[in-house]
Amino acid sequence: MIRFGLLVILSVILYSCSKTQGRPGAVLPTIPTPTITDFTPDTGVVGTEVTITGFNFSPDLSANVVRFNGVIAEVKTASPNTLTVIVPADAISGRIAVTVKQRTFTSAKTFTVLKGTWLQKADFGGSARGNAVGFSIEGKAYILTGYSSAWENDLWEYDTLSDAWTKKADFPGDARERAVAFAIGKKGYIPKRIEFTITEIQDIANLAFGDIDENNEIDDYSITDNGDRNKVLATVAYAAEIYLNKYPERWIYFKGSTQERTRLYRMAIGLNLDELTLKFDIYAEQANGIIPFRKNIEVKGLLIRKKNV
Amino acid sequence: MRQKTIKYKSDLFKQEVTLTVDENLNKLKGKVLAPKKLAAANKSLRRLKDFLPK
């Protein structure tokens, strides 16, 4: 019995010695496995920030490797229980895995990568409303009409280059909602206004026309290339004829807001000079005064009145 | 909203044009709607008034 007791004690001593000397079968320090309990959101586009909750994450950012279905993501913040990561480019839908010190945990649920991206642009310039309509022309969007606290008839232009909304002339019809809007080619709803204003000189009216700005006034320095130059010129010519029929004693003075525009008017008159001179006296402003209009002469401005006054 | 629309076929430009006449603008006496253009016109006309044919 005593001999058996010594054998047991000796065995215990020998076993204890083998542990301390690191022989095969020794117990190593435990490395905790990271665990994901949840993450949110579970859908998002590339660049979305995702918060992963769980435990055994490393507080050292670089010690956590997070993969979205195999694609490594940037870790923004790290604590033992929370990681925030960014959905990486080229990510595809699938499970999220977290690796800390070569121990990996893969989530049970999957993250769905949404295609496409949204960028927030400038808020609509008008009042919040429903049932508005819109169309676009050459990189600019137009929203008009609708209902807010009342029916609206305003028109707003959105410029993608400046990321800004500009109020344009009101829709000339009755305010309404659920209207119809469209664009064909370069043409849409862009009103222009023609005005005749008496100048400091009696019986000379200044002709102004152009787009209408946010104050509902003529923006006589704006440029709107709608491809409808001839239609605009024809409309202005017709309006001028109406005006001179009503005020046959008056002159109309007009010039372009740029040299190019004045040249355009000169060319339009030159092309139709024979017909125009049957009805009108036309003079060209030059550096030293005015002379009767002829083709291909210097023109700084134009004066026109009805013939036979 | 007092407006009337005139459609007109321009022989000069071979175009049909639509002119919307807004009678409300005629009430705006004294209000200059294109001030830059009018100022430029007045500046030019001060110099030209003596050359105008009678």
- In this prediction the ipTM stands at 0.74
> Which of A55, A107, A57, A113 lies closest to A88 in space, CA to CA?
A113
- Cis ω for the linkage preceding A248 (within 30 of 0): no
User: What is the least distance, in Å, from the CA of A291 to any CA of chain B?
Assistant: 9
Is B45 close to A199, i.e. CB distance below 8 A?
yes
Task: Report d(CA A219, CA A167) in Å as an integer.
Answer: 12
Dihedrals φ, ψ of A192, to 5°? Answer: -125, 155
Facing B19 at nearest CB: one of A206, A239, A257: A239
What pLDDT sits at residue A304?
93
What pLDDT sits at residue A184?
59
| Span between the terminal Cα atoms of chain B, in Å | 40
**Residue A28, burial from CB neighbour count under 10 angstroms (0-12, 13-18, 19+):** exposed
With b for 16 or more beta-carbon neighbours within 10 A and e for fewer, the A182-209 pattern comes to: ebeeeebbbebbbbbbebebeebbbbbb
Dihedral, CA of residue A209, residue A224, residue A168 and residue A146, to nearest 10: 130
| Span between the terminal Cα atoms of chain A, in Å | 149
A259 close to B51: Cβ distance less than 8 angstroms? no
Chain A with chain B: Cβ pairs closer than 8 A: 103
Task: Report d(CA B5, CA B19) in Å as an integer.
Answer: 6
- pTM of the predicted structure, to 2 decimals: 0.46
What pLDDT sits at residue A38?
96
Task: Report d(CA A214, CA A212) in Å as an integer.
Answer: 7
Q: Which residues pair with A206 in a beta bridge?
A: A197, A253
Which residue from B minimizes the CA distance to A170?
Answer: B1
Is A231 close to B32, i.e. CB distance below 8 A?
no
Assigned token pair, A265: 């008017």
Facing B33 at nearest CB: one of A173, A217, A254: A217
Probe site for chain B from A153, A221, A303, A305 (most B CB atoms < 10 A): A303
Task: Report d(CA B7, CA A128) in Å as an integer.
Answer: 36
The string of pLDDT tens digits covering residues B35-46 is 777 888 898 888
Q: Which residue has the tokens 């993608």?
A: A160
User: Pick the residue with more confidence: B4 or A295?
Assistant: A295
Q: Domains in chain A, ordered, with CATH? A: 35-113 (2.60.40.10), 119-189 (no CATH), 192-306 (no CATH)
The ranges of chain A with pLDDT < 50 are 1-2, 4-23, 190, 214, 221-226
A218 close to A193: Cβ distance less than 8 angstroms? yes
What pLDDT sits at residue A103?
94
**SS3 label, residue B35:** helix
Cα–Cα distances (Å) from A267 to A158, A256, A260, A292, in that order, read 33, 12, 10, 15
The string of pLDDT tens digits covering residues A16-50 is 444 444 445 555 567 789 999 999 999 998 999 99
The string of pLDDT tens digits covering residues A173-196 is 667 776 666 665 665 554 567 888
What pLDDT sits at residue A186?
61
What pLDDT sits at residue B26?
64
What pLDDT sits at residue A36?
96
What pLDDT sits at residue B4?
73
pLDDT > 70 in chain B, percent: 54
For residue A235, the chain B residues in CB contact (below 8 A) are: 8, 10, 17-19
Probe site for chain A from B25, B33, B36 (most A CB atoms < 10 A): B33
A261: left (phi over 0), alpha (psi -120 to 50) or beta: alpha
H or E, element range at B53: none
For residue B45, the chain A residues in CB contact (below 8 A) are: 199-201, 204, 253
